[in-house]
Amino acid sequence: MRTEGNTILFIINSIQNPRCIKRVNEFIDKGYDVVVYAFNRSGDVYNNDIKFEINYLDAYSNNLSYIKRIPIIYRSIKRIVAENKKNNLIYYLFSLEVAMMYFVITGGKKYIYEESDLMHTYLHNRFLRWCLEKLDKTIIRKSLMTVFTSEGFRIYHFGEKKPSNCWIIPNKLSSDISQIETIPKNKHDNLRIGFVGHIRYESVRSFSYYFCKNFPNDEFHFFGDISSDKEILMFKPLENFPNCFFHGTFKTPIDLPKVYAQIDVVLSTYDVVYENVRYAEPNKLYEAIYFKTPIIVSAGCYLGSKVKDLEVGYTVDALKEKEVIECVKQLAPDSLNRIGRTMENLGKDYSINNNEVFFNKLSTVISNLNN
């Protein structure tokens, strides 16, 4: 059924991001007309469920510095705005770098902002980081609606305050996953831990190294790509362990049942030295619950607190060998089975994306704009 109102024009900061594709598909499923522009980050697109035409913008590498990205993004958005100035549009902006350039060009004309990373927190210059945080909060406040993919991001920006135009939409699984047949866990005698996704972070390398070194009869499995030379150098030594396996890229969501059937536990540790990581809520939490696979996450972060509250996994300082060893010793069958039952009690619907309340609010916002 077609939704009456404005067309939604999406500007995607990276077409390689499955979450962005999922979000656009969701708007289409709700009956919205969409126009999609996307930057190509010079990589493969692993989501094979694209329901829309893509207007590709300039390509650039993930290794390109943010300072050098800005002119590319600015030129592209300026052209998009100029080409569509006579159209009745609401812009949907992914990431601060895109929203910032759009805000500068238009002065903040009708837009929805989605923030899935606190990218400015990675900057070393404290004054620049402070300036971007002030701008980020201004963009949030001036938006028609702002979507955070983690409750932690709202806490980072506003503490206990809850701005009325802010919505928390964790990166849960698309409802399409329910149409893919699940696969029972493969039977095996040893413990199999897996990492699923883009292979990076020192904490992932550290945990897998200590695991393979100290538990030679158990196995570590990597599913995903390694894109940069730095990451290749970081993880290549793990190939020397006979109990470490790299399976390469996979298609999401169609390959997820097969991937999770091969592992007993999923590793989702990230480097908590970064503020962004400490407040993020990765989609691996919801994949793990859906596929009833206990999860290991970093201690001292929002995700760790959530995993503890839900009782669906374990926390660890992955940079310390002793803690990794102690964590792995906890992964006895009784403990894993108990967590599996907890995940089963949560139900598959807990992990499925369902944003009816958000779309009802959006419909009201659009109606008020048009009246």
Residue 2: per-residue pLDDT: 41
- For the chain, domain boundaries: 7-169+355-370, 177-351
CA 90 to chain centre: 24
Residue 3: per-residue pLDDT: 47
| Domains 7-169+355-370 and 177-351 are alike in CATH topology | yes
- What is the rounded CA–CA span in Å between residue 281 and residue 151? 8
Q: How many helices (H) and strands (E) does the chain have?
A: 14, 13
Integer-rounded Cα radius of gyration of the chain: 21
Dihedral of CA atoms 70, 57, 122, 289 in degrees, nearest 10, equals 160
CB atoms within 10 A of CB 81: 18
pLDDT one digit per residue (tens) for the chain, 371 residues: 344 457 999 999 998 888 899 899 999 999 999 999 999 876 555 555 788 899 999 888 877 777 888 999 999 999 999 999 888 899 999 999 999 999 999 999 999 999 999 989 988 899 999 999 999 999 999 999 999 999 999 999 999 898 999 999 999 998 889 999 989 999 999 999 999 998 989 999 999 999 999 999 999 999 998 878 889 999 999 999 999 999 999 988 899 999 999 999 999 998 888 888 899 999 999 999 999 999 999 999 999 999 999 999 999 999 999 999 999 999 999 999 999 999 999 999 999 999 999 999 999 999 898 87
Instruction: Say if pTM beats, i.e. exceeds, 0.75.
Output: yes
Task: Report whether 70 contacts 36 (CB < 8 A).
Answer: no
Give the architecture (CATH level 2) of 7-169+355-370: 3-Layer(aba) Sandwich (3.40)
Task: Report whether 73 contacts 127 (CB < 8 A).
Answer: no
Query: Omega before 216 cis (within 30°)?
Result: no
- What is the rounded CA–CA span in Å between residue 236 and residue 248? 13
Residue 366: per-residue pLDDT: 92
- What is the rounded CA–CA span in Å between residue 278 and residue 280? 6
Task: Report whether 155 contacts 301 (CB < 8 A).
Answer: no
Residue 370: per-residue pLDDT: 82
Residue 1: per-residue pLDDT: 36
Is the domain spanning 177-351 CATH 3.40.50.2000? The answer is: yes
Residue 5: per-residue pLDDT: 55
Q: Is 40 exposed, middle or buried (0-12, 13-18, 19+ CB in 10 A)?
A: middle
